[in-house]
């Protein structure tokens, strides 16, 4: 017997080397801790970092929080993702807009911003840390952790589809 299929989640940022790999790893870890079955991946709306490992500052940030993201590789979001995933979760509004522009008619996946899943933070961006100081990665991690916890709680409250 097979049970209901786990929700499939795709986190989407611009480069898929900083924020969305952190979100992917944070969700995998949180779901594992809570014993919730989910399938998780990440992608970028841009194509500059296809096949590349995460930014070294993202790898270091994940490591500080006990996670290894060194094996992840960048990929670009594609039209198939709108059917393969239940939810596409953008890290900021620019990337949400890019997903809306790309979405095929009748796409199955729902679109949201990660911080929509945090009370009082709906509509807010996880700021892109790529061009900033190292501290930006820690701030991004805090926002990503909060978003992932909120999203996971929401998934747990929903009847499985
Ligand atoms: P990410 O950060 O979207 O969080 O992966 C970025 C990574 C690379 C670039 C921009 C943002 N870039 O312009 O190459």
Q: What is the arithmetic mean of pLDDT over 47-76?
A: 98
Specify the residue with its C-alpha closest to ligand 1, atom 8.
15
Query: Which atom of ligand 1 is the closest one to the Cα of 17?
Result: 5
108 is catalytic: no
Residue 95 Cβ inside 6 Å of ligand 1? The answer reads no
pLDDT in tens, 35-45: 999 999 999 99
Q: Mean pLDDT across the chain, nearest whole number?
A: 96
141 close to 65: Cβ distance less than 8 angstroms: yes
Residue 53 Cα distances to 8, 45, 67, 120, 147, angstroms: 22, 16, 15, 33, 23
What is the model's pLDDT at position 26?
98
User: DSSP characters for 1-22?
Assistant: ---PPPPEEEEEESSSSSHHHH
Residue 145 Cβ inside 6 Å of ligand 1? The answer reads no
Q: CATH 3.40.50.2300: does it fit domain 8-155?
A: yes
Please report, to the nearest 10 degrees, the dihedral formed by the alpha carbons of residues 74, 27, 25, 119 taken in order. Answer: 80
Instruction: Report phi then psi at 10, rounded to 5.
Output: -120, 120
111 close to 103: Cβ distance less than 8 angstroms: yes
pLDDT confidence band for 69 (50 / 70 / 90): very high
128 is catalytic: yes
Residue 16 Cβ inside 6 Å of ligand 1? The answer reads yes
Largest separation between any pair of C-alpha atoms in the chain: 51
What is the model's pLDDT at position 158?
85
pLDDT in tens, 84-133: 999 999 999 999 999 999 999 999 999 999 999 999 999 999 999 999 99
13 is catalytic: yes
Query: Which atom of ligand 1 is the closest one to the Cα of 140?
Result: 4
**How many A from CA of 75 to the centre of ligand 1?**
12
Please report, to the nearest 10 degrees, the dihedral formed by the alpha carbons of residues 126, 30, 17, 55 taken in order. Answer: 100
What is the model's pLDDT at position 1?
55
pTM, full prediction: 0.97
Q: Which of 116, 125, 128, 143 is catalytic?
A: 128
pLDDT in tens, 78-97: 999 999 999 999 999 999 99
């Amino acid at each position: 017997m097979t049970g209901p299929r786990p929700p499939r989640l795709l986190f989407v940022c611009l480069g898929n080397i900083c924020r969305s790999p952190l979100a992917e790893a944070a969700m995998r870890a949180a779901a594992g801790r809570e014993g919730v079955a989910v399938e998780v991946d990440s992608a970028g709306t841009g194509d500059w970092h296809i096949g590349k490992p995460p930014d070294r500052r993202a790898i270091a940030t994940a490591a500080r929080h006990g996670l290894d993201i060194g094996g992840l590789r960048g990929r670009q979001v594609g039209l198939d993702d709108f059917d393969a995933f239940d939810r596409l979760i953008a890290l900021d509004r620019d990337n949400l807009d890019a997903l809306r522009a790309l979405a095929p008619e009748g796409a199955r996946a729902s679109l949201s911003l990660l911080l929509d899943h945090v009370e009082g933070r709906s509509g807010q961006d996880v700021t892109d840390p790529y061009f900033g100081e190292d501290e930006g990665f820690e701030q991004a991690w805090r926002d990503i952790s909060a978003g992932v916890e909120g999203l996971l709680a929401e998934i747990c409250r929903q009847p499985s589809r």
